Structure 1
């Protein structure tokens, strides 16, 4: 049967040079907005943890080693969540799971405010991490299947950039709440604000659709995705190396940014206002790094771009730690660079991982490699917390950041270049006739 008349990409008014009509463009915008806002609010709820940690530690009787363990466990939980929800997204749809994970991380972030001791704090952070890990895998798969190949890098990097916007919101909330309330209770109000993103879950569920639903085309039937599907002879090596890439990316990111407020306050001696000022500089650099990485990915390819940001991350973290605290004007410029490189190296993960896995296991593959990488990268924050007692927060952060960069470069050398790869099943192109 000739389906051209039914195909929303062809023969309709308002089609663009790529054969897409307004219906697809409209739903693409909604998918990008839903995933971007979801990831941004994910960043909002996650980064407030770093701000709250310094004040929560003495109130709940936690040591620096305890906080390293709690951070590591919550990141491992996010790895498990990414695998679970990535697989569920392949089975039951991207949009359904996106709404669920946003609701979950909002509720458990708010419940962290009720913690009375370190064990309760660990419980709520673990449950929050479970849903936090699912958001990226689900949202990245949703957007990747809408994006055109020549723009996929910048579109997914833009989605990643919303994390910096969420970070900015948590910094603002931190600055306001710590100005109004004593630090001993302000951290509780900070976590309580984390319930706000829950509203978004209901909006997304009512306004956003999966790419396959928009096209109305029937995809080739494939077996239900499982984690085991990633370890067939065709995918086994790629899955393992992509996971190692995830370890490098997230070992850098979490080791640097989770403990940045603690480092600034305990070793640089900054007040909460001074900490917020440095954080704004890092956020500015992060946003520019995310967005820039997208254009570099589409212009020069995935591997050269990742290499550039890995090397820059190791260099900028080292510069910041080794710069004397007596030279704040230089340190501010360096922390902008730190934000640029440490976030830019994470900006390409959505596009690259989407292109490494076929659609039938894309959510599962992205969720596994990104989140198992994240889970193993949890040893980074765990090691930072342990090393801080002997060599200080700054040198501990620098050591793990360099190790993460080296790990990422090794993985990169073993993966293929996927610039302009066609996700043939993404907008219904791999179909069967009626």
Structure 2
């Protein structure tokens, strides 16, 4: 429920950011997410918790969409990839903090109370709204001279299927599906694979969890640097290729417990590099008036469609080993990401003008792109 609602929330929040502004939408999504996370702590039945988690998901997905567009339009073209990839790495920091909080809560409190405390802490991000209101300014947006009447929100979200950007949207959907599909195929089935086929307890150790978290952070940081160094397309294709190599080695080779622990680092490292690339890439593909809608849709469509990949792993495991099913399924997903990104234009250094559609290289924006690259080289 959270996965589906967060994907829908990201799409709708992206469209809302095109309508009422990036900063205001970010404030609303932070408050929404924090509020419903806090409400989860007071659930008395499973249906109540399910409903609260579904509503929480709208804010969870919406925060990323609004925040990613805000950052893309604020950071300079030369540093956009590094900044957005670095912010994505903070996921690992929050992950580690949650693990420590979990250990403390369930060590010091009764189980029936500890999980409620975990949800209650979710109210703290609401404090960020005070910072957002004081310190973040809405990026400059040039309105059309005739100021046409705003279309209903549901019609606005369909703007990304106009003929001018339809190809971009379709390829973005495939890229998002492959990027998320490979990750979910591995991470959802990995515990079962390690315990049932390899008979390893490595996943239950603190050492393994630490390796995965550190690997995710390192992968995001490396991807952030490479985005502005070698470009968006090459970076995604590079990480997707090595994802295929590492996952096949992980599930096919006869590895020991210690070897599994060691190989867990490159597995998490390369899996993190693609999500860290998507924020900068998707933002640079769409014109300003539909940028939020496009970013929110492409990223979150992939999250919903990617659910098919772990389902396929379960289906395929009836006729082959679970390891082979995971390897083939994840390789297909990452292969889809690697191929689809090659059909997108390279957008490194692109200036995001606060006007209607960005021009193609060779026009005024093409000159800006060349100038920004020359400055970067100097």
TM range (shorter): 0.7 to 0.9
CA contact (8 A) 1:243 1:372 kept: yes
SS at match of 2:346: coil
Please report the TM-score for the alignment, with normalisation by the length of structure 1.
Answer: 0.71
CA contact (8 A) 1:230 1:361 kept: yes
**What does residue 277 of structure 1 align with?**
207
Q: Structure 2 matches for 1:65-84, cutoff 5 A?
A: 73-84=1-12
Q: Structure 2 matches for 1:245-256, cutoff 5 A?
A: 245-256=175-186
**What does residue 365 of structure 2 align with?**
none
Name which of 222, 231, 236 aligns with 2:161. 231
Q: How far did 1:287 drift?
A: 0.9
**For the structure 1 residues 145 and 333, does the alpha-carbon distance in structure 2 shift closer, same or farther, using more than 3 Å as the test?**
same
Please report the TM-score for the alignment, with normalisation by the length of structure 2.
Answer: 0.81
Q: How far did 1:410 drift?
A: 2.9
Name which of 344, 348, 363 aligns with 1:419. 348
Name which of 314, 319, 330 aligns with 2:249. 319
**For the structure 1 residues 220 and 112, does the alpha-carbon distance in structure 2 shift closer, same or farther, using more than 3 Å as the test?**
same
**For the structure 1 residues 410 and 135, does the alpha-carbon distance in structure 2 shift closer, same or farther, using more than 3 Å as the test?**
same
**What does residue 352 of structure 1 align with?**
281
Q: Structure 2 matches for 1:132-143, cutoff 5 A?
A: 132-143=60-71
Give the distance between the partners of 1:388 and 1:190, measured in 2 at CA. 35
**What does residue 77 of structure 2 align with?**
149
Name which of 50, 53, 56 aligns with 1:128. 56
CA contact (8 A) 1:178 1:272 kept: no
Indicate whether 1:330 and 2:259 are aligned: yes
**For the structure 1 residues 199 and 258, does the alpha-carbon distance in structure 2 shift closer, same or farther, using more than 3 Å as the test?**
farther
Give the total of aligned pairs: 350
RMSD: 3.1
- Cα deviation, 1:121-150, whole Å, max 9, x if unaligned, reads 432332222111111111110010112112
Give the distance between the partners of 1:154 and 1:184, measured in 2 at CA. 42
Indicate whether 1:167 and 2:167 are aligned: no
**For the structure 1 residues 111 and 279, does the alpha-carbon distance in structure 2 shift closer, same or farther, using more than 3 Å as the test?**
farther
SS at match of 2:74: coil
Give the distance between the partners of 1:340 and 1:183, measured in 2 at CA. 33
Q: How far did 1:319 drift?
A: 3.0
**What does residue 194 of structure 1 align with?**
122
Name which of 170, 175, 196 aligns with 1:240. 170
**For the structure 1 residues 199 and 396, does the alpha-carbon distance in structure 2 shift closer, same or farther, using more than 3 Å as the test?**
farther
Give the distance between the partners of 2:14 and 2:349, measured in 1 at CA. 23
**What does residue 363 of structure 2 align with?**
none
**What does residue 375 of structure 2 align with?**
none
**What does residue 94 of structure 1 align with?**
22
Q: How far did 1:388 drift?
A: 7.8
Give the distance between the partners of 2:8 and 2:34, measured in 1 at CA. 18
CA contact (8 A) 1:175 1:273 kept: no
- Cα deviation, 1:269-311, whole Å, max 9, x if unaligned, reads 648861x321211111111111111221111111111111112
Indicate whether 1:368 and 2:297 are aligned: yes
CA contact (8 A) 1:78 1:375 kept: no
Name which of 213, 220, 237 aligns with 1:290. 220
CA contact (8 A) 2:15 2:296 kept: yes
- 5+ residue gaps, structure 1: 1-72
Give the distance between the partners of 1:181 and 1:266, measured in 2 at CA. 32
- 5+ residue gaps, structure 2: 360-378
